[in-house]
A and B are shown apart, each in its own frame.
Chain A
Amino acid sequence: MTGHPTEMEDRAAIHALLLAYGAALDRHDFEGFAKLFGADGHYTILELESAAGPDTGRMMRALYEAGDNFVQEPNFHLFYNELIWFETPDRARSTSACMFMSTPDRETRKLSVMVAATYDDEIVRDDGGWRFKRRTLHPIRNGAVG
């Protein structure tokens, strides 16, 4: 923690960035999603995919189109356990967790946890705003279905 003069508003802005990640995916705004990574920010889904800058949006569009997220609606991200700390006034780190909630049963539309994961982030101030320099998603693996 740096205790710099704008720390409180920076925390609010970084919190908004973390939520914008899920909001963009939930409304299928993959171009808006990519802007959160700027020109060269890296997004890595461990054991699956990795991309940088505008390619992050294309990667997520492809993943959504290949899966059930366009049909098992509604679905959304639920974020929790967020921590933010500053390395300098213009660089921060964050860890947080998420459950992706979906409705696989078309009859009941009961909400189910489809994916649980944690995030490890490097975040930088860029042109006055905050963006991901590097985001790594660690899936929480529960093993094969018994």
Chain B
Amino acid sequence: MTRFLRFLALALLAIGAIPAHAQRNEARDRADIHALLMAYGATLDSRDFDGFGKLFGEDGVYVGGGGREAKGAAAGEMMRQVFANNPNGVGEPNFHLFYNEVVTFDGPDRARATSMSLWMVPDQATKRPTPLLAGRYEDELVRKNGKWLFARRVVKSVTNRPPEAK
């Protein structure tokens, strides 16, 4: 009987009879995770803070620049307040530019990512897009109900320190 079951398992593998939901497609997962990382910026750039909060699911943790922390939908509310206060007094349109993305998998439903961004704002004098903030992201990602979400995203500012006195 054991020999028969082993034969059956091998036969099912050979004909690709593993259910579609159980098959891992890394290329698709990478595309979906890339789309999640882009959606982070796209929702902020379009001021879709409800959409932003959904990227963290129910309990994903967002640690923004400066260490402010929120979970799930509250992450969207936190960012709504940040943009409403506009502490840097920047003009519009402004947008995120993402680069140096690396994604690694811890398992079929868990991954990690690091990436970076520039936040581009119009220079007040020339109106040319100019980087105002540079940031680095450290992400823990999880697949829930077939969808990739942030389990934890930590934003770390890239700062140059004040100019040294001459």
**A83 and B127: CB pair below 8 A?**
no
Q: Judge whether A39 is part of the interface by a CB distance below 8 angstroms.
A: no
Q: How many A-B residue pairs have CB under 8 A?
A: 59
Closest to A140 in B: B93
**B28 and A142: CB pair below 8 A?**
no
Closest to B41 in A: A81
Separation of A96 and B71 alpha carbons in the complex (Å): 29
Smallest beta-carbon distance B28→chain A, Å: 6
Supposing A81-B38, A146-B124 touch, asked if A11 and B27 sit within 8 A by C-beta, the answer is yes
How many residues on chain B are close to A (CB under 8 Å)? 26
Chain B residues whose CB sits within 8 angstroms of the CB of A116 once the complex forms: 95, 120, 129
Chain A residues whose CB sits within 8 angstroms of the CB of B98 once the complex forms: 80-81
| B interface residues with partner A (beta carbon < 8 Å) | 25, 27-28, 31-32, 34-35, 38, 41-42, 91, 93, 95-99, 120, 122, 124-130
Complex A-B: 9 CB contacts under 8 Å: A11-B27, A81-B41, A81-B97, A83-B35, A83-B38, A116-B120, A140-B93, A142-B129, A143-B127
